[in-house]
A = this chain, B = another copy of it.
Amino acid sequence: MPPERHDRDSVVRTALHLLDEVGLPDLSMRRLAAELDVQPSALYWHFSSKQELLASVADRILSPVPEPAPGIPLPAVAGAIRDALLSYRDGAEVVLSTYALRLGAHRAQDALLAALPQDDRSAADALFEFILGHTMLLQQRMHAQSIGAVTADAADPTEHSDRVFDAGVRAFDVLSAQGRPS
């Protein structure tokens, strides 16, 4: 049998799997090529650069976020985005670091926009930025803890994290929660 051939999709899927296994710092083009049983240069037939590859990876990480639809509560949408980012190691960092390059794939922001009471794009963008910053920090703390490094909080970090996340989402949700003051 001839050696396997690949397309953009299979490369991205393998990259995603490798990301989850070794983390972003160790996700190299050479290592990915080895995983695909291919020379490193072969990757450059499918993608013009590592950045472009990572942008596709980022899109795929966010792809499970439900489509924009009115009626979904804001915390549900925010939680779905956070869960998508958390479902791969260093997921938030990958999305944050390739965000500027990705033209489409603003589905996540649009989903937040649809969940907000007013048509407030600034608030939707700000909430998305909060989710990204929050989740990147959380994933870093998770990694630092696994390395055995001393983290700021002695206690389990995920519990405190959940409270902080709720506080952030609630800040953006007051607009819809209030509306009729007493």
Contact = CB atoms under 8 A, between A and B. Distances in A.
Interface SS of chain A: helix
Interface stretch (A10-18, A26-34, A35-43, A98-106): A98-106
A175 B168 CA distance: 12
Interface in A114-135: 120, 122-123, 125-127, 129-134
Interface in A66-87: none
A143 B100 CA distance: 9
Interface string A22-58: 0000000000000000000000000000000000000
A151 interface: yes
Per assembly, the copies of the chain total: 2
A155 interface: no
A129 B122 contact: no
A16 to B, nearest CB: 21
12 contacts: A93-B97, A96-B96, A96-B133, A100-B141, A102-B152, A103-B152, A123-B171, A125-B167, A126-B168, A129-B168, A130-B133, A171-B174
A136 interface: yes
Given A100-B144, A103-B152, A144-B100, A166 B122 contact: yes
